[in-house]
Amino acid sequence: MPKYDRNFTDELRERLSIVDVVGRRVPLVKKGQNYWGCCPFHNEKTPSFSVNEAKGFYHCFGCGEHGDIISFVMKSENVDFKTAITELAAQAGLKMPDYKPKPAAQIAREESYFQIMANACDVYQKLLFDESGKVALEYVRKRGFTDDMIKKYRIGYAPKNNVIANKFVNVKQDSLLATGMCRRGDYGLYDFFRDKLMFPIFNARGQIVAFSGRSLDGSEPKYINTTDTELFHKRRTIFGFNFARDAIHRANRSIVVEGQIDAIQMQCNGFPETVAPLGTALTEDHISMLCKANRNIVFCFDGDGAGQKAAARACDIVMPFLRDTSDVRFAFVTGGKDPDEVLKTSGAAAMNKIIDDATALVDFLWNLANSGFNVSTPGGRTQAEKFLKQKTDKITDASLRAEYEQEYKQRIFQNWHKWKKNSQNIARISLPEIDDITKNTLVYIVNNFPDIAERYGDFLATMNINFDEDYPNLNMDEKSAEKYIVSLKLQKYITRLQSEKKALTSRLLAGDDVRDEIAALNNKIADAQQKIDALVLM
């Protein structure tokens, strides 16, 4: 079988969730860490077809079929490799490359680059424990790094002199330039990283593709990263993901922090599912990688203005990736601290409380709308409603988008209508707090149509009205009076159903599969509303 460039097929697998691809043809239900459904390749009544999102493969325990997203499309749609790749590329929004295998020269070149990066890391590690790395070693130990941690994450030191340019004299200069390890100056090559604490950056397969260097003298920028190369693309690489991937699977979530040191300390102090972007804002590629591992994400940022802005950006990016199984939350470290400092001063229990108290995405957006606009004014409420609509429109799952929209509609009515009390155009039917028109009408009915009052006595008793008071002179016959009470009963019934639906919606947003119950409530609400409409026409 001819092959595409491996980078392209790898990117397809990174961008597309196998649960989404398989789920278009097979109804899947999450049980434990995997998704299950009836196998599309043989007839069965009991689901034995398992999909592992973290590892990107499916397996049927009934017939033995096994593969990834590409083989699934080929087998389920009975198409060839090229057709499957073309279809998946369209789903991922990727342009099809030329249909040809990766040249042997390119494979050899990439392998040589990986070797350069590994050798450079060895040099940096040795220098950290050398006399020249004394200051760097003192710094990293002061930050709480043990020798085991230094060894695991292969932390090193890049000295002030050109150690890579001088030691790698037998390596082609073009290769040193291509990996980003060196730059060309007036007097030849010079090291890109000098006098830096060095953190190697690994790809998902555990190969070193770049470095992140931290300044030790307080100079800015605090971190510099390898520029994008053939091996490394910053917008598609997450620091610590190679260590965290299995832990994300076990913990049923990922935690995203802002810096490398925070990520390492979190991983080593009870939160191995933690990762961090590389000195840049989160990208769609980052979120895609995380969602492939697990759709539950906790963003943990500093509580200052910059952290709030980072959270708002993360919220924008994650919206299209939301599914009904997603649980996305936002945690903030207050008091001018970061996760590393919390762990040092207060321990893992304090950090765990911050994570446990994280705000659900649905509430985070609501808080943004309330704090970002003056909702005590009509104009502010309008702006806030537009803001929420703009955010929910980004949700690609139509059913989930509808639930978010309904949730915010209910919150808007329940929380913002208190500023509309004096409006003459608002018909308030919330019970038992009813408006004067409804109250006077019921008083009139009770005093003029005792048979109706007796028939609906239990309902009228819930209205908390003094029926002995004077009533207005209304023009209403017995039939109209009964229709009025029936419509109120139906309205109260709808209010109760909507309350039940709100509770179910909160469970849905928290990850419970209650879509059938919500659909049943929607049908009941629609039926009751039809009866009210029919009463109007009678």
Count the Cβ atoms, other than its own, within 10 Å of residue 530.
11
The confidence band for 428, taking pLDDT boundaries of 50, 70 and 90, is: very low
- Is the confidence at residue 427, as pLDDT, over 50? no
Burial 351-361 (b: 16+ CB within 10 A, else e): beebbeebbeb
Give residue 414's pLDDT: 61
The confidence band for 457, taking pLDDT boundaries of 50, 70 and 90, is: low
Residue type, 386: K
Give residue 422's pLDDT: 37
Looking at the domain covering 104-232, what would its CATH class be?
alpha beta
Higher pLDDT, 462 or 127: 127
Q: What percent of the chain has pLDDT over 70?
A: 88
- Geometric angle at alpha carbon 35, from 33 and 40, rounded to 5°: 150
pLDDT tens digits, one per residue of 302-332: 988 888 899 999 999 999 999 888 999 999 9
The confidence band for 429, taking pLDDT boundaries of 50, 70 and 90, is: very low
Handedness of CA 467, 470, 472, 475 (dihedral sign): positive
| Domain boundaries 237-357, corresponding CATH code | 3.40.1360.10
- Is the confidence at residue 434, as pLDDT, over 50? yes
What would the mean pLDDT of 255-282 be, rounded to a whole number? 93
What would the mean pLDDT of 332-353 be, rounded to a whole number? 93
- Is the confidence at residue 468, as pLDDT, over 60? no
Cβ neighbours of residue 142 under 8 Å, at least 6 residues apart?
Answer: none
Beta bridge partners of 183: 190
Question: How many Å apart are CA 292 and CA 275, to the nearest integer?
Answer: 14
Tokens for 162, please give them. 């050109």
Q: What percent of the chain has pLDDT over 90?
A: 46
What would the mean pLDDT of 258-262 be, rounded to a whole number? 92
Higher pLDDT, 382 or 463: 382
The confidence band for 461, taking pLDDT boundaries of 50, 70 and 90, is: low
Question: How many Å apart are CA 341 and CA 256, to the nearest integer?
Answer: 16
Give how far the C-alpha of residue 384 lies from the chain's centroid of Cα atoms, to the nearest Å: 22
Higher pLDDT, 483 or 117: 117
- Is the confidence at residue 518, as pLDDT, over 90? no
Contact 479, 507 (CB under 8 A): no
CA-based end-to-end distance of the chain: 71
Decide: helix, strand or coil at residue 384: helix
Strand ranges (E), 252-306: 254-256, 274-275, 296-302
What would the mean pLDDT of 480-496 be, rounded to a whole number? 82
Question: What is the DSSP secondary structure assignment for residue 103, as one 8-state letter?
Answer: P
Question: How many Å apart are CA 61 and CA 472, to the nearest integer?
Answer: 74
Mean pLDDT computed over every residue of the chain:
86
For 39-44, the CB contacts below 8 A with 24+ separation are 39/63, 39/65, 40/76, 41/65, 41/75, 41/76
What would the mean pLDDT of 334-343 be, rounded to a whole number? 90
Question: How many Å apart are CA 310 and CA 306, to the nearest integer?
Answer: 6
Beta bridge partners of 359: 330
pTM of the model: 0.66
Give residue 306's pLDDT: 85
Higher pLDDT, 240 or 56: 240
Count the Cβ atoms, other than its own, within 10 Å of residue 110.
16
> How many helices (H) and strands (E) in the chain?
23, 16
Domain ranges of the chain: 6-92, 104-232, 237-357, 374-418, 436-537
What would the mean pLDDT of 433-437 be, rounded to a whole number? 62
pLDDT tens digits, one per residue of 376-421: 888 888 899 999 999 999 998 888 999 999 888 878 866 764 444 3
Give residue 234's pLDDT: 92
> Which range, 50-54, 105-109, 241-245, 266-270, has the best average confidence (pLDDT)?
266-270
Cβ neighbours of residue 333 under 8 Å, at least 6 residues apart?
Answer: 300, 301, 302, 303, 307, 339, 342, 354
Give residue 190's pLDDT: 96
Please give the CATH architecture assigned to the domain spanning 6-92.
Alpha-Beta Complex (3.90)
Higher pLDDT, 472 or 113: 113
Q: Is 427 left (phi over 0), alpha (psi -120 to 50) or beta?
A: beta
Strand ranges (E), 238-322: 254-256, 274-275, 296-302
Q: In what order do the strands lie in the sheet with 274-275?
A: 274-275, 254-256, 296-302, 327-333, 359-360
**Could you give the residue ranges of the DSSP H alpha helices within 56-133?**
69-77, 81-92, 104-128
Tokens for 153, please give them. 């994450």
pLDDT tens digits, one per residue of 190-210: 999 999 999 999 998 889 999
Question: How many Å apart are CA 320 and CA 288, to the nearest integer?
Answer: 10
Same fold, 104-232 and 237-357: no
What would the mean pLDDT of 520-527 be, rounded to a whole number? 87
Give residue 511's pLDDT: 73
Question: How many Å apart are CA 209 and CA 121, to the nearest integer?
Answer: 11
What would the mean pLDDT of 95-101 be, rounded to a whole number? 66
Question: How many Å apart are CA 327 and CA 512, to the nearest integer?
Answer: 10
Tokens for 288, please give them. 């895609």
- Is the confidence at residue 522, as pLDDT, over 90? no
Decide: helix, strand or coil at residue 218: coil
Question: How many Å apart are CA 146 and CA 140, to the nearest integer?
Answer: 8
- Is the confidence at residue 18, as pLDDT, over 60? yes
Higher pLDDT, 346 or 417: 346
Residue type, 389: K
The confidence band for 333, taking pLDDT boundaries of 50, 70 and 90, is: very high
